[in-house]
Copies of this chain bind each other. A is one copy, B any other.
Amino acid sequence: MAAATPDPKVADLIERHQDTLDRALTAMAERDYWSPYPEFPKAYGETGAEDGKAAFDALLGSVFAVEGQPTDGDLVGGETSPYGIELGVSYPHTEPGALIAALEAARPAWAAAGPAARAAVCLEILARINARSHEFAHAVMHTTGQAFGMAFQAGGPHAQDRGLEAVAYAYAEQTRLPQSAGWTKPQGKREPLQMVKEFTVVPRGTALLIGCNTFPTWNGFPGLFASLATGNAVLVKPHPRAVLPLALTVRIAREVLAEAGFDPNTVCLAAEHEGGTAAQVLAVRPEVKVIDYTGSTSFGDWLEDNARQALVYTEKAGVNTVLVDSTDDYRGMLNNLAFSLSLYSGQMCTTPQNLLIPRTGIATDQGDKSYDEVVADLAAAVDGLLSDDARAAAILGAVVNPGVLQRTAQAAGGEFGELALAPRPVTSAEFPGATIRTPALVKADADKPDDRAAFLGEQFGPISFTVAVENTAAGIELLRRSVREQGAMTVGAYTTSPEVEQALVQACLDSGVSLSLNLTGGVYVNQTAAFSDLHGTGANPAANSAYCDGAFVAGRFRTVEVRRHG
């Protein structure tokens, strides 16, 4: 059955966003740079920055209304900014049963809307989110601790890019079959057999997004929009420390849905206090058929083991490695690595943790460098990058939560090993209450069991290890094993040797991780660009899926065929 003719409002949305959708489909096939969402704050109008700040300020201390969503009357909240300001936002609470009931009631009309209408509604949601990128930047900044510049880009346009990418993949996947097809089979001299066949996308049901603390929008939008664009109702369960960016998202989605004639409860918000168990309760509800999750390995594994009624897409912990063999741009390498380690205080799932360096040293364009020289030069590069507190704060952002702060203190106290660079507090003039730390560089030896125990576990936060390895070959083996056993979102490497490069590529193919080679300029191993780079591979323990590929969307719906004589 073809989708019903959309009502005029939906038809208008389809027309309005058709070019963007088409361009996104081209971009994801070509993989060149593209984005419809400007990444520079100044692109958002003369008063954009001011208006966004004002909108954010107006949220502080408020009750965040989610019009039309059932609630039990309780209010939950308690987000605290890593920058030390009081957020004081409270959100309506809803019992899981009432949430599921609302989603199930909303679901059929959305399921029947068809891929084109759903893509258009999703693109309108993204367009409105985009227009409020300044407001989102503040919301992301004050829940995650990202510096404003990063919160604006990664939490705004780059997250929107990933959302749009998911919508485009979902649209492409749902339209691989025609809505209707004739089938004529010759029968020799007899009349041919003739049939008409109609193909209808059937969404799975209700989807659950379990948000994370550090990248609520960037890691949340792919799953949210993939599920929504494939016709599932979506329940958004933010991390209790990072509710606001996803609450804004839900509210905008509900506005657009309602304006387009759909039940706003197609997207609902499940806010809760820190320490709540909504995720566990919701994840095993029989109505929940798709789950997207970013967070700890332990809860990700729990979801995979227990939410058996659902397709579960997880991004969990990992240990990211950079192998340093040789370079023809020593300075560029050091600066690139220093930035990678410092950006958002190492609190990215893509930040390198272990830098493997041959204990016999490396060849560079500035002569051979011993292991100790490389470590010292890297420490100096980080130190130099962060020498000015204002600049440091703009790169580091703030420490996202007490767990990371405690780990940083352990590193500072030498618990993980000898320090090549001690972390230090940084003061923000704008936010005197901010908790800001520079990264710790810990020296380690791949052949010492205590060291291995430290650097082979994920030490999430501003803690990296300069790991001495016997030689490059031993480093590649360690890399391969560590990716296979601990998982990794990223691997980087520096080498001028084609043989080493070949061995590295093979190790990454074997262990299932993507590789950034010889980054010495303005591209960092931590960053991936939508429509071009895959984020994660789904081929090692760090994640069972990637942003974004066919597998990320193909299972979120099924196809039902109706056939009859033509």
The residues of A with any CB-CB pair to B shorter than 8 Å are 1, 29-33, 111, 173, 176-178, 181-187, 193, 195, 197, 199-200, 202, 204, 304-305, 308, 505, 508-509, 512-523, 529, 532-534, 537-539, 546, 549-551, 554-555, 558-565
Kindly state the separation between the CA atoms of A178 and B185 in the bound complex, as whole angstroms.
35
Residue from the list B195, B514, B563 in contact with A515, Cβ < 8 A: B563
- Residues from chain B with a CB closer than 8 A to the CB of A520 are 565
- Residues from chain B with a CB closer than 8 A to the CB of A537 are 202, 558-561
* Docked-complex contact B549 and A554, CB < 8 angstroms: yes
Known contacts A202-B509, A523-B563; 5 additional CB pairs below 8 A are A31-B183, A305-B308, A517-B562, A517-B564, A519-B565
* Docked-complex contact B554 and A187, CB < 8 angstroms: no
Kindly state the separation between the CA atoms of A515 and B560 in the bound complex, as whole angstroms.
8
Kindly state the separation between the CA atoms of A522 and B29 in the bound complex, as whole angstroms.
42
- Chain B min CB distance to A365 (Å): 15
In the complex, the count of this chain's copies comes to: 2
- Residues from chain B with a CB closer than 8 A to the CB of A512 are 202, 558, 560
* Docked-complex contact B509 and A539, CB < 8 angstroms: no
- Chain B min CB distance to A494 (Å): 11
* Docked-complex contact B505 and A1, CB < 8 angstroms: yes
- Chain B min CB distance to A179 (Å): 10
- Residues from chain B with a CB closer than 8 A to the CB of A562 are 505, 508, 514-515, 517
Kindly state the separation between the CA atoms of A204 and B510 in the bound complex, as whole angstroms.
10
Residue from the list B1, B516, B546 in contact with A558, Cβ < 8 A: B546
Kindly state the separation between the CA atoms of A563 and B526 in the bound complex, as whole angstroms.
13
Kindly state the separation between the CA atoms of A466 and B511 in the bound complex, as whole angstroms.
56
Between A537, A549, A554, A558, the greatest number of chain B beta carbons within 10 A of the residue's beta carbon is seen for: A558
- Chain B min CB distance to A547 (Å): 12
Kindly state the separation between the CA atoms of A265 and B218 in the bound complex, as whole angstroms.
44
Task: Say whether, besides A1-B505, A200-B509, A546 and B559 are in contact (CB < 8 Å).
Answer: yes
- Chain B min CB distance to A548 (Å): 11
- Chain B min CB distance to A555 (Å): 5
Task: Say whether, besides A33-B185, A522-B193, A555-B551, A560 and B532 are in contact (CB < 8 Å).
Answer: no
- Chain B min CB distance to A533 (Å): 6
* Docked-complex contact A508 and B563, CB < 8 angstroms: no
- Chain B min CB distance to A335 (Å): 14
- Chain B min CB distance to A550 (Å): 4
Kindly state the separation between the CA atoms of A514 and B563 in the bound complex, as whole angstroms.
8
- Residues from chain B with a CB closer than 8 A to the CB of A554 are 549-551, 554-555
* Docked-complex contact B173 and A529, CB < 8 angstroms: no
Q: What are 20 residue pairs bridging A and B, where the CB atoms are less than 8 Å apart in the complex?
A: A30-B178, A31-B177, A31-B183, A31-B199, A32-B184, A33-B185, A183-B529, A183-B532, A195-B523, A197-B533, A202-B509, A202-B537, A505-B562, A514-B563, A516-B564, A519-B565, A520-B565, A521-B565, A534-B561, A546-B558
- Residues from chain B with a CB closer than 8 A to the CB of A509 are 1, 111, 200, 202, 560
